[in-house]
Amino acid sequence: MSDYASDTLNDLTPEPTGARRVVVLISGNGSNLQALIDEQTHDRLGGEIVAVISNVADAYGLQRARDAGIDAVVLPHGEYDSREAYDGALIKVIERHEPDLVVLAGFMRILSSRFVQRFHGRMLNIHPSLLPAYRGLNTHAKALADGVAEHGCSVHFVTEELDGGPVAIQAVVNVSGDETETSLKEKVHTREHLIYPIAVKWFLEGRLRLVGETAVLDGTPLPPHGLRLSHADAAEELDEDHDDA
């Protein structure tokens, strides 16, 4: 086990140049997209969301994009014969926008190896659990059924292994004795809306990178659970940026 405290990897990733461009993939409500839009609106995202793409035609996140003047594109997966065919079309739509970063924000499709390789190292996902616990779907119900005392959310680099990519940031929430799936989902959502903009900003600033199979922040490899940010720390991180305005 390497010593995360002292290791510093020789990071060969070139520094980002020019205005950093973000494409966001969604399938539903888009509250995480809205959190990113809000940071962009205050010039604090570190780049520009240039397109929002949904596989679901009536995803409310598309309206959020339109309201923000962002190109909103629907690419229905049901119109393609296979996952590979869909992903091929999705790659073409994304590449037209020349992104530096692809952000999955409630995008509910498992991506093919071809797609993941195309954007390897520059694709993030927000997952509603403390990975590696509860990969996949229905995470809140599973956590409640197991009676865990802590739950949360993770921002991770996307790899071929579903929800198995290196974790960048996590937020932990306490699960109360009378917690419901709805109350737990709300707790987690609140923290998602803090840690995702932070992770996106850090990537666009060149601070957060995927080096090999390790998430690296400011040249230092992160532990398997990433950087654990408390609610106060995350809010301060965003507020500090606000103070810089």
Ligand X SMILES: Nc1nc2c(c(=O)[nH]1)N[C@@H](CN(C=O)c1ccc(C(=O)N[C@@H](CCC(=O)O)C(=O)O)cc1)CN2
Pick out the residues of the known binding site for (6R)-10-formyltetrahydrofolate.
83, 108-111, 125
* Contacts to ligand X by CB under 6 A: 104, 107-111, 116, 125, 127, 136-137, 158, 160, 162-163, 165
Taking the C-alpha atoms of residue 154 and residue 147, their distance in angstroms, rounded to an integer, is 19
Taking CB under 6 A as the binding criterion, the range among 3-11, 24-32, 85-93, 208-216 that sits at the site for ligand GAR is 24-32
Give the nearer residue to ligand X in terms of CB position, either 70 or 111. Answer: 111
Q: What are the backbone dihedrals phi and psi of residue 194, each rounded to the nearest 5 degrees, phi first? A: -95, -50
Contact between 30 and ligand GAR by CB under 6 A: the answer reads yes
Q: Which residues are annotated as a binding site?
A: 30-32, 83, 108-111, 125
State yes or no: is 127 an active-site residue: yes
**Regarding beta strands 21-26 and 48-54, do their DSSP bridges make them parallel or antiparallel, or are they unpaired?**
parallel
Instruction: Spell out the residues 6+ positions from residue 207 whose beta carbon is closer than 8 angstroms to its own.
Output: 217, 218
> What does the H/E/C string look like for 122-154?
CEEEEECCCCCCCCCCCHHHHHHHHCCCEEEEE
Contact between 105 and ligand GAR by CB under 6 A: the answer reads yes
**Contact predicate 53/25, CB 8 Å:** yes
Taking CB under 6 A as the binding criterion, the range among 6-14, 30-38, 62-70, 176-184 that sits at the site for ligand GAR is 30-38
**Contact predicate 126/154, CB 8 Å:** yes
Binding site partner of 30, from ligand X, ligand GAR, none, Cβ cut-off 5-8 A by kind: ligand GAR
Contact between 187 and ligand GAR by CB under 6 A: the answer reads no
Taking the C-alpha atoms of residue 149 and residue 147, their distance in angstroms, rounded to an integer, is 7
The footprint of ligand GAR on residues 46-75 (CB under 6 A) is 61
Contact between 179 and ligand GAR by CB under 6 A: the answer reads no
Helix, strand, coil fractions of the chain, as percent rounded to 5: 35, 20, 40
Give me the catalytic one of 42, 77, 97, 127.
Answer: 127
Site of interaction with ligand GAR (CB under 6 A): 26, 28-32, 61, 105-106, 126-128, 137, 153, 189, 192
Active site residue ranges: 127
